[in-house]
Amino acid sequence: MTDVIPPNRGRLPRWIERSYRKVQERTSVRGKVEVGANLRLGRGALISSMHGLSIGNSVAVGQGTIIEVDGSIGDYCLMGRRVQIIGRADHASNEIGVPMALSTWVGDRSQIADDTVRIGRDVWIGAGAIILGGVNVGDCAIVAAGAVVTRSVEPFAIVGGNPARQIKMRFANEAVRAQHLKKLQMR
Give the catalytic positions in this structure.
Answer: 91
Please state, in angstroms and rounded to a whole number, the distance separating the CA atoms of residues 183 and 181: 5
Exposure string (b/e) for 124-148, b if CB count within 10 Å is 16 or more?
Answer: bbbbbbbbbbbbbbbbbbbbbebbb
Contacts 24+ apart (CB under 8 A), 47-56: 50/106, 50/107, 50/111, 50/115, 51/110, 51/111, 51/115, 52/111, 56/121
For the chain, what's the residue count? 187
The answer to whether the beta carbons of residues 119 and 101 sit under 8 Å apart is: no
| Closest of 136, 168, 163 to residue 149, by C-alpha | 163
